[in-house]
Amino acid sequence: MKKAWGKKFFLFLVLPVFYFGWFLTYLANYYEHFRAIPENLYANSTSHYGCIYNFLFCNEGYHQEHDLCPNVHWSQRPQLYENLRQQLDSVVRVILKFPPRLGFIHHRRKIETSVRQTVQY
C-alpha cells in the first residue's frame, strides 16, 4: 500500500508542482528579455522598478542592472541603478509596468522606455 501511495504522491503532487515551478520560471525569464535589444549592452533585457515586487523578490526587477553586473549582490542593485542611470536612460529600453511574471498583461499594451518614448508593438 505504501508503494501505491508513493507513486500517487509523486504523480499528482510532486510532478505538477515541479512542472508549474519551471513554467513560472521560464515565463518570468521570457518577459525579462521580451522586446529587448540583444546587440545593445544597456538594453538587452527589461526592468521593473515596482517597490513591492522588488521587496518580495530580492530586487529581481532590476534585471538590466543584474545583466550588466551579475556579481553585484541583490541588495546593491538599486544603488547600481543610480550609478548607471545616465547610461541606461540614454538608450531606448523596455521598462515593464508589471512584474515579469505578469508580463502577458504588459504584452497587450504600449511599452514604456527609459527615454520616455512610447513604441507601438
Task: Return d(Cα 95, Cα 35) in angstroms, integer.
Answer: 10
Task: Look at residue 117 in the predicted model and tell me its pLDDT.
Answer: 44
Average pLDDT over residues 82-106: 86
pTM of the model: 0.74
Q: Is the pLDDT of residue 119 over 50?
A: no
Average pLDDT over residues 86-92: 90
Mean pLDDT score of the chain, rounded to an integer? Answer: 84
The domain segmentation of the chain, as residue ranges, is 2-119
Q: Is the pLDDT of residue 2 over 70?
A: no
Residues 6+ apart with CB under 8 A from 62: 47, 49, 54, 77, 78, 80, 81
Task: Look at residue 103 in the predicted model and tell me its pLDDT.
Answer: 76
